[in-house]
Structure 1
Amino acid sequence: MKTLPDPLASPPLGLRPMRVHEAGGRGRRSFALFQAARHPGPLVWISPSHLPEQPLPAGLPMGVAERLHLLRPMGETDLLWCVEEALRSPAVALVIAEPQQPLSLTAGRRLQLAAEAGRTTGLLLIPEGGGSAASETRWHCEPAPGREDSTLHHWQINKNKRGTNGDWMLHWDGTTAAFHLVSEAGERQQPAKPAR
């Protein structure tokens, strides 16, 4: 039986275990790779066979390629079946999937039950407007590169069944699980000026 991290002790960008989460936006695959780097154990990435994009081992964060299993089902029905079966497996740490159509409440609930049964975490990379009411959290992820820094990301949690929403800017170079949160303007921790 795998040991689960304490969800209350997880960092602000962590995913609650035994639940299915969603990420949308142009940076959703970066968010998925970030989560893959932070989840120890076997990883399953499920995307439709017709999608030309797929994770390439040489470009993945350190330690992810060795643990990653790619599944390329032919249609949406097969994709959802693969997701459900992977979530039910207690050996899998994280299931990432790219459904192409919005999930019904029934399909979303089935995936949540599968995640609970397998004690596994799921992350669905959804197209715009493709979320399910059954998801635990929904993230909107965008790259935010500047002239001097291409590693900035803007990740927002827009739906959270068990907490508050949030908004983070972070530096993540995509090579390891390490990241740096960027302080909001005016909230940097600077020493106080001496009194005169």
Structure 2
Amino acid sequence: MSLTFSSVYPLKHARAHEICGNSALAFAAIAAGAAKGAVVWISESWKPTVNPEGLAPYCDPGRLLLTRADSQLTVLASAETALRSGAAGLVVAELSGAIGLTEGRRLQLAAEAGGTTALLLIPEGAGSNAAETRWRCSGTPAPASGPRQNGHDSTHWRWSLIKNKIGTLSEWIVRWDAASHRVIVVSEAGG
């Protein structure tokens, strides 16, 4: 089954969304590739920084603006400023702790004001009630047919929509198709 990125990945524009799980970085990289314009990626200085060249299969590293902050509070303030400015198509903020309702609401208001989408990479259970959606992303075993199937990479992810303000919850097993540069939903039968 082949679906477009937006049909599997329905992120509402100009809103703040949260992602947790061991494959959250891949989810954010794919979102960065789908975003229009520049992508601001903010993380705390004590954490390893994302390597733009490592994200090249999913997004153009030349569109990434990496920003380092000295604390989570500074990450949140920087994300709010970037969102409110409207200068980027996407703002990704890597957070190490919980987000309060006030901080989450401020990010929602900034995203709306600037017309920019926010992705907040959060630890499991550290989300805010203000988030539009929350996704849990994890790796999942590929079908037993070998490392490559029909010429495609075997990396599979389980994307679970665990919070959704405007719709139902669901989950998908997906893989990245580098040739078409899009997410493919893998059928339950594995083929």
For normalisation by structure 1, the TM-score amounts to 0.84
CA distance in 1 between partners of 2:41 and 2:129 (Å): 22
With over 3 angstroms needed to count, the CA separation of the structure-2 counterparts of 1:32 and 1:176, relative to structure 1, is farther
Q: Deviations over 1:112-134 (max 9, x none)?
A: 00000000000000011111110
Residue 77 of structure 2 aligns with which residue?
81
Structure 2 residue 19 is the aligned partner of structure 1 residue 15: no
* 8 A contact 2:32–2:59 mirrored in 1: no
* 8 A contact 2:177–2:184 mirrored in 1: no
* 8 A contact 2:30–2:58 mirrored in 1: no
CA distance in 1 between partners of 2:58 and 2:161 (Å): 26
Q: Structure 2: where are the runs of 5+ without partners?
A: 1-5, 148-153
* 8 A contact 2:17–2:118 mirrored in 1: yes
1:176-195 alignment to 2 at 5 Å?
177-185=181-189
Which has the larger displacement, 55-64 or 114-123? 55-64
The structure with more radius of gyration: 1
Structure 2 residue 160 is the aligned partner of structure 1 residue 156: yes
Residue 168 of structure 1 aligns with which residue?
172
Residue 5 of structure 1 aligns with which residue?
none
Secondary structure class of the residue paired with 1:129: coil
CA distance in 2 between partners of 1:23 and 1:109 (Å): 16
Q: Deviations over 1:23-56 (max 9, x none)?
A: 0000000000011111121101001000024233
Q: Structure 1: where are the runs of 5+ without partners?
A: 1-9, 189-196
CA distance in 2 between partners of 1:173 and 1:145 (Å): 16
1:98 to 82, 94, 106: 94
For normalisation by structure 2, the TM-score amounts to 0.86
CA distance in 2 between partners of 1:44 and 1:174 (Å): 23
Post-superposition shift, 1:162?
0.6
Post-superposition shift, 1:71?
0.4
| Alpha-carbon RMSD | 2.0
2:66 to 70, 73, 81: 70
Post-superposition shift, 1:89?
1.7
Residue 191 of structure 1 aligns with which residue?
none
Residue 3 of structure 2 aligns with which residue?
none
